[in-house]
Amino acid sequence: MRTSWADTVASESSGGGALSANSLPFRSSYVPPHLRNRPSNPQPPALSPARTPVDPPRPIAGGRWSGAVGRDNSRPGIGCGNEIGVGWNSRAGGWDRGRVREPNPFANDAAAAEVDFGGLENSGINFDAYEDIPVETSGDNVPPPVSTFYEIDLGPELNENIRRCKYVKPTPVQRHAIPISLAGRDLMACAQTGSGKTAAFCFPIISGILRGQSGPRQRGMRSAFPLALILSPTRELSVQIHEEARKFAFQTGVRVVVAYGGAPIHQQLRELERGVDILVATPGRLVDLLERARVSLQMIKYLALDEADRMLDMGFEPQIRKIVEQMEMPPRGIRQTMLFSATFPREIQRLASDFLCNYIFLAVGRVGSSTDLIVQRVEFVLESDKRSHLLDLLHAQRANGINGKHALTLVFVETKRGADTLEHWLCMNSFPATTIHGDRTQQEREHALRSFKTGATPILVATDVAARGLDIPHVAHVVNFDLPNDIDDYVHRIGRTGRAGKSGLATAFFNEGNASLTKPLVELMQESNQEVPAWLARFAASRASYGGGGRGRRSGGGPRFGSRDFRKDGSFSRFGGGGDYYGRGVGVGGGGGYGGGSSGYEGGSGVFTSAWD
């Protein structure tokens, strides 16, 4: 039987394999990391009564909120009460690893490595490609970056898992974001697609939980009390973050659970009942669990919003606001909040600042820019010619053997129906394809993604539900069969290729219907050192000359790449009270493609629902 490397390492680290599976004591109750050094407490936790924002959760003696005991003075939280407890709970020797029966989260990696991608795979992560990238930080007392993981005291278990993930050195966003978060600071971080943002927020959370000493929690309680909440806009992305976080938390005792819509809730409830330290969720399902009182946010210390600009976008913001402000979550300054995305329009930054306290703004590369590793091509294709043009591309790709025999191609279209008909047509023309969109059942969506990832159906036709965050190795080509109306959506879509330092190709079919995208597209291409076709440059110039440049963005004017941290714009009002910034009154609405169904998340009739539950 094949044994994975991670299995071997895991059995070595648990005592050289001395314990057989049969000899493992039955794990009768979930013991959170912060309790490993304590005598077991048979009493259920005293649940705090409902609190107002000025009445934070009751500090637990020696806990992070006490502010007096257990503080690591070398890394004080700044200004808002964020602070880090000392010491590695598991380091002190109280945790019996042999007690934890945990499926090996690295097992799928070993299986995936066996799929033949024609020599494409892991030719090595080339993060040197990011070395020269400009980095901007703003805010008070920004902690300095690190160069290696070992400069950061993440703890032995996490370091071991970093090694298992084969991460040799931190990516630029990790170099900056991890020390900032470990110092207890709130963070708004913008870094290019595929640059390692997931680890950048997961590592400090796991490390913080291992250091912390929160209140007790027992298995079988009706409500689960996670310490960290990671919200993401789509089910598939939540599943992916969960898988990643489980790898990072492997053998640490930190328990990660995922909750998302479209999947049976009872199974998720059972998982929650077994205890949870980090809850990864989509907002809709989370609200459901909160309303059923099956999850309580009272103990949340860490809140991370992945794809934060999407989470605070038009239509979604009220739900996030409800979760963050009306569901007993400790207020900002008590919890630590981290927002990550590759794009951060200024008005979304403004909204986001409501959730943050004296935060640091971090931009790795230009805000909203795309990585130079993606070769971007724009071709003029009439609507009526799109199918035959796509077929030509695919035939050429097949004939040239570009990127190996199982190179994956991701094709973005505007509508769910369009996705189905294109998939059918491709299959009829001997190009095995599958599709993912909001009208498919969750089971179908997950099956489609698996089939694509393994190369069984090397073409995936998708709506924007697949545009953000998905990390699918071997996507060699992204085709924008229908371009989005918003340049940020374009950035995220093409970011499904050219990840983790690898190169990729993105082809866009452009015609008069995409006129509003011309200017931002040309700007984006120029700043990513792409060759702009002469016809496109002329078209952009002619539109500019009669004032129809179009922004294709929601940003409401101003230079696109001016000040990155909106606090530097000078266009916001600043009120006292701990250095937070309020610029409300600038709406997010009005054009930009967010109501028209082209880039909305599966919102039929302008209603954004199905990707959210």
Ligand X SMILES: Nc1ncnc2c1ncn2[C@@H]1O[C@H](COP(=O)(O)OP(=O)(O)OP(=O)(O)O)[C@@H](O)[C@H]1O
Using CB under 6 A, list all residues that contact ligand X.
125, 167, 170-171, 174, 191, 193-199, 342, 469, 471, 495, 499-500
Nearer to ligand X, 422 or 470 (CB): 470
In whole angstroms, the minimum distance from the beta carbon of 165 to ligand X comes to: 6
In whole angstroms, the minimum distance from the beta carbon of 491 to ligand X comes to: 9
Residue 113 makes CB contacts below 8 A (sequence gap 6+) with 121, 122
Residue 322 makes CB contacts below 8 A (sequence gap 6+) with 287
In whole angstroms, the minimum distance from the beta carbon of 247 to ligand X comes to: 9
Please tell me the distance from the alpha carbon of residue 299 to that of residue 225, in angstroms, as a whole number.
6
Nearer to ligand X, 198 or 376 (CB): 198
Nearer to ligand X, 64 or 247 (CB): 247
Nearer to ligand X, 342 or 362 (CB): 342
Are the CB atoms for 285 and 261 separated by under 8 Å? Answer: yes
In whole angstroms, the minimum distance from the beta carbon of 496 to ligand X comes to: 7
Picking from 284, 217, 275, the residue whose alpha carbon sits closest to that of residue 249 is: 275
Are the CB atoms for 187 and 205 separated by under 8 Å? Answer: no
The stretches of 229-355 forming alpha helices (DSSP H) are 235-248, 265-273, 283-291, 308-311, 317-326, 346-352
Residue with tokens 């159906």: 457
Picking from 159, 157, 202, the residue whose alpha carbon sits closest to that of residue 177 is: 202
Picking from 39, 40, 45, the residue whose alpha carbon sits closest to that of residue 58 is: 45
Residue 105 tokens read as: 């989260």
In whole angstroms, the minimum distance from the beta carbon of 154 to ligand X comes to: 12
Stretch (H or E) spanning 390? helix 386-400
In whole angstroms, the minimum distance from the beta carbon of 464 to ligand X comes to: 13
Nearer to ligand X, 236 or 423 (CB): 236
Residue 311 tokens read as: 């989470």
Q: Residue 170 class from Cβ within 10 Å (0-12 exposed, 13-18 middle, 19+ buried)?
A: buried
256 φ, ψ (degrees, to nearest 5): -115, 130
Are the CB atoms for 612 and 284 separated by under 8 Å? Answer: yes
Nearer to ligand X, 95 or 316 (CB): 316
Number of neighbouring beta carbons within 10 Å of residue 270: 11
Nearer to ligand X, 35 or 199 (CB): 199
Are the CB atoms for 189 and 197 separated by under 8 Å? Answer: yes
In whole angstroms, the minimum distance from the beta carbon of 191 to ligand X comes to: 6
Nearer to ligand X, 155 or 495 (CB): 495
In whole angstroms, the minimum distance from the beta carbon of 196 to ligand X comes to: 3
Nearer to ligand X, 438 or 469 (CB): 469
In whole angstroms, the minimum distance from the beta carbon of 409 to ligand X comes to: 17
In whole angstroms, the minimum distance from the beta carbon of 341 to ligand X comes to: 7
Of how many residues is the chain composed?
A: 613
Nearer to ligand X, 247 or 335 (CB): 247
- Which stretches of 241-399 are assigned E, i.e. beta strand? 256-259, 278-281, 302-306, 336-341, 360-364, 374-380
